[in-house]
Chains A and B, each alone.
Chain A
Amino acid sequence: MQDVKFNGSGFEYFKIWIVNVLLTIVTLSLYYPWAKVRNHRYFYANTRVGEHNFEYHATGKQLFLGYLVALVLFVIYIVAQQVSPIGSIVVLLLLFFGFPWIIWKSLQFNLKMSSYANVRFSFIGSLGDSYFNFMLLLIMALIAFYSIFFLPGIAVALLADTSMTFASILGFVFFIVGCALAIYGFAYKKKKNTEYLINFRKFGNGTFFTSIETSVFAKIILKTFLLAIAAIVAVLGIFLVLAVMFAGAAALTDLQNSAGDTQGMMAALAALSFLILPAYALLILAFLFVGAYAQARMRNYIYAQSSLDSNIHFKSALSAKKLVWVMFTNLLLVVFTLGLGTPWAKVRMARYIAANTYVETEVDISHYITEKQNVQTTLGDQIGDAFDVDLGVTI
C-alpha cells in the first residue's frame, strides 16, 4: 500500500497565486493560460505517490489559442443571452454539438501533458464514443428525467373519463416509475461516462481498467436525492423554529395569510428578513453536504473498482462529513478574506483528498513501473495547441 501525499504549502502557493492574479489583471486576462499552467504544475508536482511525483507539461503558449476561442465564444454567448434569445439558443446548440469533441480533445491533451515518474499518460478513446457518451446518453438521460412529468400525465389523460381514483393511483404509480427511470438513466450515463474516461486511459504501456455496476450508482443517486429533500425540509424546519422563537408566531401567520398577494407577502417576508442570512448559510451548508456525499461515495466506489494492468489497485476513503467540513471552512475562509484565502483553501482540499487516496500494489510500485515502463512509448506525440477544458481528468 502506498500513500498519496500532497506536499504543497498554503503560503508557498499563495505567492504563486497572487503573482498569477496580478499578471492576469494587468494583461486583461491574457496571461490566464500561463497562470493556469503554473497552478497545475504546482499541484501536480507536489502530489507524490511513493518516491515519484506527478508532473504537468503543457505550456501557456499551447493553451493560449484555445483560451482565446473559449473567451470569444463566452462573450458572444453572454451578449446573445442579453440581446437576442434566438442567438443564445444557436450558441447553446453549437456548444451542445461541439461538447463531445471538446471533451475528447481535452482528454487527449491533458493526459498527454501529464506524467508520473517521467512516464506520460495518454488517452485512446474514440471521438465516436465521446459522442455516444456525452450526447446520445445525455439525451437519453434527459428523456428519462422528463418521463417523471409526462408518464403520470398520460395515465391521468387516458383514465380521467372512467375513474378519477383509478387515474390518480395509476398516475402515482407512473410517477414512481418515472422517478426510477430517471435515476436509472442518470446512473447508466454516469457508469458509461466513467468507463469511457478510465478504460481508455493509459499510463505509458499500462492500461487502466474499471467496471461499474449501474445499480451502485443508482443507489448513490437515490440516496443523494433523498438527502437533498431531507436537507431542504430540515432547513425549512429550523427556519420556522427560529422565526417563531425570534419574531413570534404572528409573523408566520402573516406570511401564510398573504399567500397569493405579493405586496403582503413582501411585507411579511421583510419582517423575517433578519433570518434570511442565517437561513441562506444553513442552506449552503446543507447543499455542500449533499454535494460532498455524492462526490465522496462516487469517488470511493470508482477508485475501488479501478486498476492499472490488474497489478495496481486504487482506494479512496473520503468521508462525506470530513469533506463537507473542509468545504465549509474553506468557503468561510474564502468569503471572509474576500478571496485572498483561496490558495490556503485549495491546498487544504488537495491535502485532504491526497491523504485519503491510496495505491495498492502486490509488488513495489517503483519496481513495477520500472519493469513495465522501461520501454519507451510512441503513442501520438504530435499534439499541438489545445482546446482545453477542466474536467478533473487527473487521478
Chain B
Amino acid sequence: MQIQGRLYEKDSAAFSDVSLSLKDNQYYIYDNSELIEFGLSAGLEFGSRIGNVERKITLANGCVFATHDNNEVDDYIKAHRGQKNLIHKLESKMQWVVVALIITIASSFSFVRWGLPAITYAVADALPHTVNEMISEGTLEFLDRFIFDETQVTEQQQGLITARFNELVQRVDSSDKEVNYQLYFRAWGSKEDSVEIPNALALPSGEIILTDKFIELTSSQDEIDSVLLHEIGHVQHRHSLKMAIHGAIVATLVTVIAGDVSGLADMGIGVGSLLVTTHYSRKHESEADHFAFTNMLALNIDPSAFASIMGKMQTYMSEQQPQTSKAGSAENEARETSEGSVLDYLDSHPKTQVRVEQAERFAQCYQQGLIDCPYEVNKQ
C-alpha cells in the first residue's frame, strides 16, 4: 500500500514530498525511492478523519506525515487495527445523516413541547413557597408607586368582598397550604380620561389585586368569585414561578446552542423563544380557568358568571377603543383582521370568545347538578 504525501520534520515547516508504504508490522517512507524513515507500524499515531481535510500521521520521533488520501489510510486502519472511526462513519453515510436529522428534529420538537414544561413543573413544584415570596417582594410597592392609585371602593364593600375571599380560600381544594392569601383594592387608570382598566392580578406570594373598574363592572358576587378563583388558580399552579423558570431554561439553552451558531441566528432564536413563551402563558390562563370552573362546581357557583364578567370586560374594552381612535369603520375592520392573524401568536391570553364558551360548557354541567364535569378545558 503506497500513500503519497508530505513528511514534515517535528514542529517545522520543512517538508519533502514522500510516499509512505504500510506493511503489516512495518512502515517505510521513501523520498524518490530513497528510504528515509522506517519503523514499527504500532508506533504510528493516526489522526481521526474529518471530512476530506488533510490527514496527519505522527511518527514516533515527532515527524508528521500528511496526506489527502484519506480512503487509503482508512482502509489500512480498518484492516490492520480493527479500529472503527464511529463518528466519521456517522458523518459519511447518508442514511446515518438522515437518521441524525430526524432524531434531532424529533427530539428538539418533543423537548420544547413536553420536556421543557415537564422540567419546569418539576422544578417549580419542588421549590418551597418562600421562593414565591422572594419573587413577589416589593412588587406591590412598585405597582403602587408607578401604576396604581388609591381605591375609591367603600370600606364596607371591601370588607364584604374580603370576607368572601377568605371564605373561598378556606374552601378551595388547596395543595399549597403555606400560601398567605391577601386581597387588595386599587384604582388603575384615570377617571378623568375615562380610561380605567378593569383587571385582576395575582402575585406569586398570594397577594391578589382587584381594580376599581373591575368591581364597578361586576353585578353579582358570583362574578367576583369566579375571577378570584381564577387568580387563586394562578397562585396554586405557581404560574409566575413557572414562567420565571421556563424563561431561565430557554435563555440558558439559547445561549448554549447559539454559542455554537453564528451570532446572527440569535435573533431568529429570539423570535422563536418569544412564540414558545406566549404559548406557555396562554396555557397558564387555561389552567387557571379550569381551576376556577371546577372549584365553582364544587362550591355550587354557576360558572356562567365567569362568562358574563368576561363578556362585560371585553365589551368595555372595545368601547374604549373607538373613543381613543377617531378612524373610520372600514379601517377599524381592516385592523381587526390583521390583529387576528399577526397578533394571534403573540397573544398572551386565549381568545375571550373561547374562554366564554368553555365557561358555558361548565355552566351546563352546573345546571345538571354535576360536580365532576367531563369536559376538559382546551389547554392550547
Q: Which residues of A contact B (CB under 8 A)?
A: 8, 12-16, 18-19, 21-23, 25-26, 29, 32, 35-36, 38-39, 41-42, 45-46, 52-53, 55, 71, 74-75, 78-79, 81-84, 117-120, 204, 247-248, 250-251, 253-254, 257-258, 261, 263-264, 267-268, 270-271, 273-274, 276-277, 284, 288, 327, 330-331, 334-335, 339-340, 342, 345-346, 349, 366, 369-370, 373-377, 390
Instruction: Return chain A residues, CB-CB under 8 Å to B247.
Output: 82
Please classify how large the interface on chain B is, using the bins under 10, 10 to 19, 20 to 34, 35 or more.
35 or more
Instruction: Return chain B residues, CB-CB under 8 Å to A119.
Output: 11-13
B344 to chain A, nearest CB (A): 11
Instruction: Return chain B residues, CB-CB under 8 Å to A83.
Output: 131, 134-135
B257 to chain A, nearest CB (A): 8
CB-nearest residue of chain A relative to B251?
A78
A137 to chain B, nearest CB (A): 24
Scan residues 72-104 of chain B and give those whose CB is less than 8 A from a CB of chain A.
Answer: 87, 90-92, 96-97, 100-101, 103-104
Q: Do the beta carbons of A18 and B97 come within 8 Å of each other? A: yes
Q: Do the beta carbons of A45 and B248 come within 8 Å of each other? A: no
Instruction: Return chain B residues, CB-CB under 8 Å to A42.
Output: 50-51, 53
Q: Do the beta carbons of B335 and A81 come within 8 Å of each other? A: no
Q: How far is the CA of A340 from the CA of B265 in the complex (A)?
A: 11
Q: Do the beta carbons of B264 and A334 come within 8 Å of each other? A: yes
Q: Which residue in B193, B252, B255, B265 is a CB contact (below 8 Å) of A342? A: B265
Q: Do the beta carbons of A331 and B265 come within 8 Å of each other? A: yes
Asked whether A330 and B11 contact (CB < 8 A) given A22-B104, A250-B331, A264-B195, the answer is: no
- A sample of 20 inter-chain contacts (CB < 8 A) reads A16-B50, A19-B87, A21-B100, A22-B90, A25-B108, A45-B53, A79-B248, A82-B244, A248-B327, A263-B197, A268-B325, A273-B342, A274-B342, A334-B268, A335-B271, A339-B268, A342-B261, A366-B13, A369-B13, A370-B14
Q: Do the beta carbons of A22 and B103 come within 8 Å of each other? A: yes
Asked whether A331 and B264 contact (CB < 8 A) given A19-B91, A53-B54, A273-B342, the answer is: yes
Majority SS at the chain A contact face: helix
CB-nearest residue of chain A relative to B111?
A25
A80 to chain B, nearest CB (A): 10
Q: Which residues of B contact A (CB under 8 A)?
A: 8-15, 50-54, 56, 64, 66, 87, 90-92, 96-97, 100-101, 103-104, 107-108, 131, 134-135, 189, 193, 195, 197, 244-245, 247-248, 251-252, 255-256, 259-262, 264-265, 267-269, 271, 320-321, 324-328, 331, 334-335, 338-339, 342-343
CB-nearest residue of chain A relative to B189?
A263
